A and B are shown apart, each in its own frame.
Chain A
Amino acid sequence: MTIDVQDTLPAASPPVSQPPHPLVEFWYHFRQNKGAMAGLAVILLIAVVALFADVVAPHDPNIQYRDAILVPPVWQEGGRWAFLLGTDDIGRDMLSRLIFGARLSMMIGLIVVTLSLAVGLALGMIAGFFGGVTDALVMRFMDILLSLPSLLLAVVVAAILGPGLVNAMLAVSIVVIPHYARLTRAAVMAEANKDYVVASRVAGAGPLRLMLVVILPNCVAPLIVQATLGFSTAILDAAALGFLGLGAQPPTPEWGTMLASSLQFLQRAPWVVTWPGVAILVTVLAFNLLGDGLRDALDPKLKR
């Protein structure tokens, strides 16, 4: 099937000598990856729901309906149409809490990725560009962070900073910095001695200009992929911290925290535990699918 596509491609595209715009080419390759497209669709859906949580959610996530405690989902016996996915142990609507949880998870992902990407990018650029002692110092420090299992490091940082959503985000950000630093350093080192960089240097470009304007745009592809996958790590680790009681605190409708606070109802009311987990899994899976698709589409070695 793939061979067919390749054969018909030159005939289908208009006979112009100009190569297509890189974005067009990227979209062409990306579109063929069904999994990545599905991931993108799910992420867009979650993002829209998160953005308009106030409008979409049928109830206030913190209102306790005293007459509706542990109501099962609507398709089970005793379910009510007012609470599509059921209610928790103090009568809060599960669906509304999940929707507001989506807002938190997307925010966690965005903040963690932005923070860790900014710091990791800066460290990696400095290490790769200047080399020598600077490089050794930065990278040894990254090695130290990498020698600790990521969840353990996050747990320790959260324990030092104290439990809470903001501290959990900080903890997870610190943990993933080395990944961005290493990636950036490798990309910068591969680019730094190429002719176009040397030409700019000879033309009088300073180190900041060389790093940010000349080299950086050519290192973006792997970073985009890593940042996408970083969303899934961030959401997963923040949820794990929430589950261990070191992340967001109840009554915050964070998915991991929701799971932990309803553990004792596992047998009586499985839905209070099932839904937050499904939400985490689906979101993380979507980001992983998207990341894989981006990697395939952006990596020239894999292009057909």
Chain B
Amino acid sequence: MLRFILTRVSLVIPTFLGVTFLTFLLIRLVPGDPIEVRVGERGIPPERLLELRHELGLDRPLWQQFLDYIAGVLQGDLGVSLVTRNSVLSEFLTLFPATLELAALAMLFATVVGLPAGIVAAVRRGSVFDHGVMGVSLTGYSMPIFWWGLLLILFFSVGLGWTPVSGRLDLLYYVEPVTGFMLVDTLMAGEYGAFWSALHHLVLPMIVLGTVPLAVVARMTRSAMLEVLGEDYIRTAKAKGLAGKRVIGLHALRNALIPVVTVIGLQVGTLLGGAILTETIFSWPGVGKWLIESINRRDYPALQGGVLLIATTVMAVNLLVDVLYGVLNPRIRHSR
């Protein structure tokens, strides 16, 4: 078991180094000298420029710079934002809980709706419900989510006035961030009005971000269930006289869940990518919106660090899913 986990972890290391190298190159591929970009149009005397280049190590060979960068990354030093002068890591960590809260709820939404829909569609294969679920999920899968968000705002926020247009919390409330998760923080502070407000702010972004994963989960659940329902042991279970619900709920679902759980794990990338669009539309103060703002402000260290941290998160989650999959399914673990 330990051996299996260690092999999987060791496979990720070259990928991590590669991503680090890519993000390292990023700042050098951008047209313009980093220092000239930093000083902007004010200009800088040439001798001071050379001095700064030396101080920042930019006059050294590329591979030495890369080693320095890696050493910094491993110590949590991702550089300093050009705009705010704060450490990129601390900025990211301040904003990340907002993205995480949104992404977690979106995934919850996708699972809670998509899983039952997929199961029922598979059990009633060929029915109107089945066709409906498949049609809706293909539409959801094809949805330009930035437009979907605007439509929902137009209908629910502008038209019906049910939900706020942007942000995480009404200006009326202030809650000291403890965990960074608004729903948790408001509850801990005992501010139920604020909790209610935070929940209202979350609903639309959650639906928008959860739409594509919802489509994927529903489709995957349906096809996994269909495959399992055709297996011999299901026929046996039915032949034994077990009730239909028991066969579906216990025998079929358990086995169909394995690929579904994997797919849910693999949606993390989709969620963090989609967060860029969702957060931009809803002015959600998370890392997605921050990245786009960094690009617009030419804050390349922030962009560099943010990309590396998001990629690391995706890799970590995929690794976790991979390992869990092996732990739960001995056939995978011993396949080599």
Residues of chain A having any CB pair with chain B under 8 Å? 35, 140-141, 143-144, 147-152, 155-156, 159-160, 162, 232, 236, 239-240, 243-246, 256, 259, 263, 266-267, 270, 273-274, 276-277, 280-281, 284-285, 288-289, 292
B153 touches A144 (CB 8 A): no
The 8 Å CB contact of B269, one of A149, A155, A281, A292, is: A149
Most buried by A among B143, B146, B274: B146
Contacts of B151 in A (CB 8 A): 274, 277
Flag if B291 contacts A256 (CB, 8 Å). Answer: no
Selected from B31, B138, B276, the residue in CB contact (under 8 A) with A151 is B276
| A273-B303 in contact (CB<8A) | no
**In the complex, which residues of chain B have a beta carbon less than 8 angstroms from the beta carbon of A147?**
15, 19, 311, 314-315, 318
Q: What is the total number of residues of chain B having a CB less than 8 Å from a CB of chain A?
A: 42
Cβ–Cβ < 8 Å partners of B147 in chain A: 259, 273, 276-277, 280-281
Measured CB to CB, the closest approach of chain A to B44, in angstroms, equals: 24
Q: Which 5 A-B pairs have the closest CB atoms?
A: A277-B147, A149-B273, A151-B273, A144-B18, A285-B142
| B270 within 8 Å of A (CB atoms) | yes
Minimum C-beta distance from B230 to chain A (A): 13
Question: What is the bound-complex CA distance between A191 and B280, given in angstroms?
Answer: 46
Whole-angstrom distance from the CB of B139 to the nearest CB of chain A? 6
Question: Which positions 4-51 of chain B face chain A at CB distance < 8 Å?
Answer: 14-15, 18-19, 22, 26, 29-31
A66 vs chain B, min Cβ distance (A): 27
Residues B307 and A156 in contact, CB atoms below 8 Å apart: yes
- B residues in contact with A288, CB < 8 Å: 138, 141-142
Q: A141-B18, A244-B292, A285-B142 are in contact. Are A160 and B277 (CB under 8 A)?
A: no
Chain B residues near A151 (CB-CB < 8 A): 273-274, 276-277
Question: Considering only CB atoms, which chain B residue lies closest to A278 in the complex?
Answer: B147
Pick the contact of A267: B18, B158, B277 (CB < 8 A). B158
Question: How far, in Å, is A239 (CB) from chain B's closest CB?
Answer: 6
Instruction: Specify which of A159, A232, A273, A292 lies most central, judged by the most chain B CB atoms within 10 Å of its CB.
Output: A159
Minimal beta-carbon separation of B243 from chain A (angstroms):
28
Kindly provide the distance from the CB of B79 to the nearest chain A CB, expressed in whole angstroms: 16
Contact with A along B181-225 (1 / 0, CB 8 A): 000000000000000000000000000000000000000000000
Q: How far is the CA of A30 from the CA of B144 in the complex (A)?
A: 27
Give Cα A155 to B18, complex, Å. Answer: 19
Neighbouring A residues of B154 by C-beta, 8 Å: 266-267, 270, 273
Partner of B15, one of A140, A150, A243, A273: A140
- In-complex Cβ contact of B138 among A149, A276, A289 (8 A): A289
B314 touches A266 (CB 8 A): no
CA separation between A150 and B277, bound complex, in Å? 13
- Give bound CA distance, A162 to B318, whole Å: 31
User: How far does the Cβ of A224 sit from chain B's closest Cβ, in whole Å?
Assistant: 19
Q: Are A246 and B138 in contact (CB under 8 A)?
A: no
CA distance A285 to B30 in the complex (A): 36
Query: Which residues of the other chain, B, contact A285 by a CB distance below 8 angstroms?
Result: 138-139, 142
With a cutoff of 8 Å between Cβ atoms, the chain B residues found around residue A245 in the complex are 296
Judge whether B295 is part of the interface by a CB distance below 8 angstroms: yes
B18 with A140: CB separation less than 8 A: yes
Distance between Cα atoms of A277 and B144 in the complex (Å): 7
B314, A148: Cβ atoms under 8 Å? yes
Mostly, the B contact residues are helix
10 more CB-based (< 8 A) A-B contacts, given A155-B291, A156-B303: A148-B310, A151-B274, A155-B292, A232-B142, A236-B142, A240-B146, A244-B280, A259-B147, A270-B154, A280-B144
Chain A residues within 8 Å of B31, by CB? 162
Task: Please tell me which one of the listed residues A35, A152, A267 contacts residue B291 in the complex, with CB atoms under 8 A apart.
Answer: A152
Nearest residue, chain B, Cβ from A161:
B29
Residue from the set B31, B150, B270, B274 with the largest chain A CB neighbour count within 10 Å: B150
Instruction: Check B133 for interface membership: any CB of A closer than 8 A.
Output: no
Please report the C-alpha to C-alpha distance between residue A156 and residue B304 in the assembled complex, in whole angstroms: 9
Q: How far is the CA of A277 from the CA of B143 in the complex (A)?
A: 9
CB proximity to A under 8 Å, residues B239-274? 269-270, 272-274
State A141–B18 Cα separation when bound (angstroms): 8
A200 to B158, CA, bound (A): 68
Q: Could you tell me if A144 and B15 are in contact, using CB atoms closer than 8 angstroms? A: yes
Q: With A147-B19, A155-B295, A281-B139 as given contacts, are A160 and B146 in contact (CB-CB < 8 Å)?
A: no
In the complex the two chains form, is A244's CB within 8 Å of B142's CB? no
B148 to chain A, nearest CB (A): 8
Contact A156-B26, Cβ < 8 Å, known A140-B18, A277-B151, A284-B142: yes
Contact B272 A152 (CB under 8 A): yes
- Identify B144's interface contact among A160, A244, A256, CB under 8 A: A256
Q: Is the CB of A152 within 8 A of B307?
A: yes
- Contacting residues, chain B, for A259 (C-beta < 8 A): 146-147, 150
Query: A152, A274, A280 — which one has the most chain B CB atoms within 10 A of its CB?
Result: A152
Contact among A143, A148, A267, A270 with B307 in the assembled complex (CB-CB below 8 Å): A148
Q: How far is the CA of A165 from the CA of B150 in the complex (A)?
A: 23
Q: B144 contacts A236, CB within 8 Å?
A: yes
Please state if A266 and B150 are interface contacts (CB–CB under 8 Å).
yes
Mask, B137-178, CB within 8 Å of A = 1, is 011011110111011011000100000000000000000000
Residues of A within 8 A of B280 (CB): 244
Choice from B22, B143, B276 contacting A244 with Cβ under 8 Å: B276
B10: shortest Cβ distance to chain A, in Å?
A: 13
CB distance from B67 to the nearest CB of A (A): 19
Which residues in B have their C-beta under 8 angstroms from that of A280? 144, 147
CA distance A285 to B187 in the complex (A): 42
Q: Which residues of the partner chain B approach A162 to less than 8 Å between Cβ atoms? A: 31
Known contacts A152-B276, A246-B295; A266/B18 CB under 8 A: no
State A149–B269 Cα separation when bound (angstroms). 5
Across-interface contacts of A239 in B (CB, < 8 A): 144
